[in-house]
Chain A
Amino acid sequence: MQAVTSASSRIDAKRRAVLDPRKRQFAKSEWIDPDYEHRLNFYQTPPTKDISLEDFEEWAIARLKVLSELEACSFRNRTTEETSEYMRPVLEKWLRLDSNKSRSGELNAQRKKDHYSHWTLRLAFAGTGELRQRFAKLETQLFKLRLQSDYDDEKRDFIKGLKMSWEMVGSEEKATLLKDLKAATGFSQSRGDEEAWFKVDWESVPDLVSQRQVLLKRGKAYVHVREQLTMVQNAFTHSLDSGLELAARFLPRMDEDNRLAPILHHLGQSFVAPEANYSESNSLGDLAKVTAGDIDGMSKHFPLCMQNLHRELRKNSHLKHFGRLQYTLFLKGIGLSLQECQIFWRKAFKLIADDKFNSEYLYNIRHSYGDVGGDANKRGRGYTPFSCQKLLTEALPGPGQSHGCPYRSYTPDNLMTLLQAVGVNDREVLRGVKEDVGRQRYHIACNRVFEAAHKVELKKAKDESLLPSSNFDTILHPNEYFKRSFVLRNLGMVKKGDIGIDGPSQESASQ
């Protein structure tokens, strides 16, 4: 890397260098080398170092993945313990943050990544009020999670370093007020409460005042130290909210040069439904030979979007273009070969004459598989099957069309009818789906249905560690849905080792 030059001599054309010596002495130094003392961060100073574009994007995507998983947890109403359990592997993978005790050499790099990715996402999500709110909520949850998992002494150091507006109650005052302090703040010896209180203006703790959990004297509230964590979290949210507002105001003035805009836009989209990296591993490959005749039987493993298309197809013996495209790519993804696919469509479009079919529909199937035409890059493999994000961000289907995500395109009532038609009858699940749809979290609704349908199998898989932990993440791709559904319903085969799932938990050398 470049040698670090001293602050005074470094003048970067991009930054407005303050050259006037009279002002120079008051200007904040441009080149701050942040010293990440603590694992946690209030993100009050923006980063100033240079990083590469790839890092910029990568780190932001990693953080986004973490936040999306966190959001999924909250939507499925997991308790705090469940969430922290669930998030641990996710955090390990994407945003590892070791404590000071670990003496890892990577500490600075990890914290830098954390710091930068936060500020990148701030940029990406400062645009609209709704995004800001979501972001702030998720960041607070992440902060809370990290705070709870921190070591006590490190926590204390961090909080001390924050310079909040409270002061500890001195021993004299404590002695005089001890009885009242204990009575007011619900002190419980048995719970192991420390005999420590701090005082702060009552306006900072209105919730505690409302529940009479603090001692009030002439406008000062005496709060027990256990509430400190809540106050720190509230302070975090507060400072983040104001930071985001400021960012929103400065966004239009950003000195942009078309490098960041597409990245930020892409990040914004990922918030709708996170990126699902479709890879070959998502298809069953040679796990199960799928033929055209199997499709009807397999359709019970399909996610709602594909089941919907399948039903439409069977009903009308026809599908419009986008529906065909979506479905064909999906079928490719589950392992249907080109020949089988052609047979499938030919049989499905039974009302159409042979030559019409060949001239109008056959080419497209071959195109999707990459057999003819298409992009030179993708020749041989064809287009990738659409992920949930794609289905949720492209245009809504019009009359006579049934592609896209039905959780989005159907009205809630029609959606309920559809779900019941495919066999989802549990009132709880239906209600949960309605809620999710109301909040526009369509992929969460789909996941909910998946979990409800495979409850038994999922539990078994978890208990017996048959599947690697990544298999319990949120499903973001229809083919992923299918694969997991198929695997779960055929757990016998997994145990026997016939179906090998790539992952660390698989001991037997299968596949």
Chain B
Amino acid sequence: MPHAISPTSSPPEPVMDDTIMSNAPAQPLEDEVPLEPHSDAAMLDAEPSTVDTSSGKLEDIFDDDSDNDEFSSSVPTTVDSSQPALAPAAQEKSAFTDLSILKQFYQRLLPFRALFQWLNHSASPCADFQHREFAFTLQSDVYVRYQSFASADLFRKACVNTTPLRFEIGPQYTINPRDRKTVLKAGSFRPVMKELVFDIDMTDYDPIRTCCTGAKICHKCWQFIIMAIKVVDVALREDFGFQHVLWVYSGRRGAHAWVSDKRARTMDDAKRRAIANYLVLKQDEKKGIRRPLHPHLDRSLDLLNPHFTKDVLSVQDPWATAEQASKLLDLLPDKVLTTALQKKWDSAPNRSSAQKWADIDSVAENGNLSTMSPKQLVDTRQDIRLEYTYPRLDAEVSKKLNHLLKSPFVIHPGTGRVCVPIDVRRLEDFDPFAVPTVTQLLQEIDTWDAEARRQEMSEEEKSKVEDWQKTRLKPYVEYFRGYVAALLKDESRVKRERDEEAGAESMEF
């Protein structure tokens, strides 16, 4: 009964003494009784701000409630979110790694069930999930490997109890990773299966982006990631026939791809290396890319050309200064042409990159100065275009079966943003700065709860709505669930077909 009263408080409003009193062990029950008839709304009006003195006590008291998931209410968040309200942004940073915030996140927001199904490839736990390795990065910078769980609930409980800053997903092994020391033969513990993954990191683009460097990103350079996702996605689907490709925002400055097709999961290192090398483009300094262009590169060029004109030439403007322009000249193999261009640009500084780009063609044509044939010039320009737009992957991530990669839906400790999946159908609309942070999400829950109370929704209706549905995380979780559902459907179909085949064979006897 006391719990029925405690949810009455809402975040901005300070905690009521009454509720404290009612929950304090020493208090006699009679005090509660008069409180009950009061409507929830009445309690809302209570305002004595005893925040500071009470907050300490509150924390102590409500810590016990953390086990009681069903009713772990917004009251604790009152305390927590009140703190950032008091302190300026500086505290926001540490808030993202704050234990209680993370705990709340794991308890209420992270969709463990969906993650479990995604990794398990079926509804009931099997070796796919149970022998899967997870690596936790704990608060104290401790890195714990070879964790495994028997079910989604146990996974969730472990996260809630240990509140890792983030966790990574590894491969599925032959046996439970926790039992790895018990095998006699060293060879019997080895990885057998993992999704094919790709990592695109903005720092690889530092040589060609002008707006930011290092960990910073902005909307302008985010376009590079969009370009990369486009090219890689179409290659994976069209060329390799993979159907289940999940793109995930990495939390700050890049994206990851997870391919869950069975065919992809069971690939060995050699095949992963093959795919990685297929997708990676290494420019040959002297001869340029091999002509005729492979259809994949041709297709990529078609996809990237509009981006080149808009995002690179006009937005990034990479060759504005003379120093930068010399980089462009370095990419042209013809000395005569480069000298002529140099002269032109020296005499007319402040030409934009787009103009300089056009100059290459015009100077080559007009003066008949270039020793390159027209075809060679076209090829060189294509090479430069690819250099500035083609995806730059971290191939090492993809090449190994046992590589550990950050899981979707964890919080990025630096920015506090959730690593949400990117909907490839609406790729251009994805805004990394619109991705919710964990504190925002928790606030949203409370706002919703307050609103629900105001609207006098019944308990029944309220309990039907899950916490993540009250926040901006909703579309992302729904997208993820849809993706997982499709994957499971496919998996069960394949399994059924295989069973039927096997069954048919056994019939013959």
Contacts and interface: CB of A to CB of B under 8 A. Distances in A.
Interface of A: 180, 182-184, 186, 202-203, 206-207, 209-212, 215-220
B419 to A, nearest CB: 29
A53 B298 CA distance: 63
Interface of B: 238-242, 263, 267, 270-271, 273-275, 277-278, 290, 292-298
B274 A210 contact: yes
A245 to B, nearest CB: 14
Contacts of A203: 263, 267, 271
Contact of B294 (A206, A207, A212, A218): A212
A222 to B, nearest CB: 10
B301 to A, nearest CB: 12
A183 B293 contact: yes
Contacts of B263: 203, 219
Contact of B239 (A182, A186, A207, A217): A217
Most buried by A among B274, B277, B293: B274
Contact of B296 (A186, A216, A220): A216
Given A180-B295, A183-B293, A215-B295, A210 B241 contact: no
Most buried by B among A180, A182, A212: A212
A212 B284 CA distance: 15
Contact of A183 (B239, B242, B295): B295
A211 B296 CA distance: 12
Nearest to A208: B274
A129 to B, nearest CB: 12
Contact of A184 (B238, B240, B274, B295): B295
A211 B282 CA distance: 11
22 contacts: A182-B292, A183-B292, A183-B295, A183-B298, A184-B295, A186-B290, A202-B240, A203-B263, A203-B267, A203-B271, A206-B270, A207-B274, A209-B274, A209-B275, A210-B273, A210-B278, A212-B294, A212-B296, A216-B296, A217-B238, A218-B238, A219-B240
Contact of A210 (B240, B267, B277): B277
Contacts of B295: 180, 183-184, 215
B296 A219 contact: no
Nearest to B297: A212
B508 to A, nearest CB: 11
Most buried by B among A182, A216, A218, A220: A216
A495 B278 CA distance: 60
A207 B274 CA distance: 6
Contacts of B277: 209-211
Nearest to B296: A212
A216 B296 CA distance: 9
Contacts of A219: 239-242, 263
Contacts of B292: 182-183
A217 B296 CA distance: 10
Nearest to A185: B294
B270 A184 contact: no
Contacts of A216: 239-240, 278, 296
B266 to A, nearest CB: 10
Contact of B271 (A186, A206, A212, A217): A206
Nearest to A183: B292
Contacts of A183: 292-295, 298
A207 B278 CA distance: 10
A218 B263 CA distance: 12
Contacts of A215: 295
B488 to A, nearest CB: 21
A390 to B, nearest CB: 38
Contacts of B240: 202, 216, 218-219
Closest 3 CB pairs of A and B: A219-B241, A206-B274, A216-B239
Contacts of B298: 183
B288 to A, nearest CB: 15
Nearest to A186: B290
Nearest to A182: B292
A219 B290 CA distance: 23
Contacts of A207: 274
A409 B166 CA distance: 57
B261 to A, nearest CB: 9
Nearest to A201: B263
Contacts of B293: 183
Nearest to A218: B241
Nearest to B276: A210
A2 B437 CA distance: 88
A183 B291 CA distance: 8
Most buried by A among B242, B271, B292, B294: B294
A161 B298 CA distance: 38
Contacts of B267: 203
Given A206-B271, A216-B296, A219-B239, 15 more contacts: A182-B292, A183-B292, A183-B293, A183-B295, A183-B298, A203-B271, A206-B273, A207-B274, A209-B274, A210-B274, A212-B296, A212-B297, A216-B278, A219-B240, A219-B241
B490 to A, nearest CB: 14
A181 to B, nearest CB: 9
A211 B271 CA distance: 12
B294 A209 contact: no
A209 B238 contact: no
A186 B426 CA distance: 36
A211 to B, nearest CB: 7
A184 B294 contact: yes
Contacts of A220: 241
A174 to B, nearest CB: 15
A212 B278 contact: yes
A293 to B, nearest CB: 63
A348 B292 CA distance: 75
A180 B240 CA distance: 16
A182 B293 CA distance: 10
Contacts of A210: 273-274, 277-278
B298 to A, nearest CB: 7
Most buried by A among B239, B241, B242: B239
Contacts of A202: 240
Contacts of A180: 295
